[in-house]
Every structure is written in structure tokens, then in C-alpha cells.
Structure 1
Amino acid sequence: MDSQVRYEFQLAERLSATALAAFPELHLADAGLGTILFGPVRDRSELYGFLGRFDIMGLTVLGFHRLPD
């Protein structure tokens, strides 16, 4: 994985301000009923770290993908 590629994560839930604070490295985009977070991901370990944190918080990941450069 190239350094500092950007990813977008689509979550089923709307995150509260407290939940959003758990992801200071990601940015919030308007998602209607759910939440879309996006931001830089340094490597595979950090990608899996985000997915693990979503899981620990009980969040449903609807999808994620690498954003174009």
C-alpha cells in the first residue's frame, strides 16, 4: 500500500459527537441516514486498525474503498 492513500468508510449508524471523537484522524462527510468517514491511511495495519475500532464500537461497516488520488 502506498503511503498516505485515502479511504472512505460507510457506516450504517449516525455517529454521535462522542463516537466521532474516537476517530480524530478521519473527516466526516454528509451521508444522510448513516455516516461516511474519510481520510488518509498509512498502511494495511492502520486500515485494519480502523476496521477493528469500528467493530469494537459495535458499528456496522457497509463498505469501504480507496479514494482516487
Structure 2
Amino acid sequence: MAERAPSACPGKPWEDKFVRYEIRVEGHLSETLAKAFPELGHVVMAGQTVLFGPVVDEAHLFGLLARCQSLGLRVVEMRPVPE
């Protein structure tokens, strides 16, 4: 089993390497719905809500998409954000 590199942020759930993502969903997310994504920031613009933040691995990304689906959110676009 491969060892993980020590985290630059001890006590944080993510590793040193992550990819920042934007997930655009249709409509304006209420503050209550936004709380379902505590690890992400959000901004409302042009009839959409953009969720953004670090995604540590593929499982995390699929989990975010599954959360969107379970909440009835329509994902319009998902993309990694260049650094």
C-alpha cells in the first residue's frame, strides 16, 4: 500500500494535492441547500449557482455530484479550474 505524503495542513481532510473545481447548477441555491456543501464556496450569478473549491480525488468529485442529484439539483457544467 502506498504511503500518503504528510499534509501541509495538519488536521485537514485533504492532502497537499487537490484540484479546484467549479460545479454550476441551475437556479439560485438557498442558504439551506448551500449548507449541504460545507467544503465548497458558492456564488449566485445569471440564474445559476456556482459551487467552487478543492476536490481531493475522484471519489470526492463523484460524491459531490451524487449530493447534487439527491438534492434535485441540475448540474449545468462541471470543470476543473486552472491554478
- Provide the TM-score with structure 1 as the length reference: 0.91
Unpaired segments ≥5 residues, structure 2: 1-15
How much does 1:28 deviate?
1.1
Q: How many residues were matched structurally? A: 68
Conserved? CA contact 2:28–2:44, under 8 Å: no
Q: CA RMSD in A?
A: 1.3
Conserved? CA contact 1:3–1:41, under 8 Å: no
Q: In the alignment, does 2:29 pair up with 1:18?
A: no
Q: Which runs of 4+ in 1 moved over 6 A?
A: none
| Aligned counterparts of 1:30 and 1:17: Cα–Cα separation in 2 | 11
Identical counterparts, % of pairs? 41
| Aligned counterparts of 1:16 and 1:29: Cα–Cα separation in 2 | 11
Unpaired segments ≥5 residues, structure 1: none
- The structure whose Rg is larger is 2
Q: In the alignment, does 2:60 pair up with 1:7?
A: no
Match of 2:73 in 1: 59
Residues 36 and 25 from structure 1, CA distance in 2 versus in 1: closer, same or farther, beyond 3 angstroms?
Answer: same
- Provide the TM-score with structure 2 as the length reference: 0.77
> Could you say which structure has the greater relative contact order, defined with CA pairs below 8 angstroms and 6 or more residues apart?
1
Conserved? CA contact 2:20–2:81, under 8 Å: yes
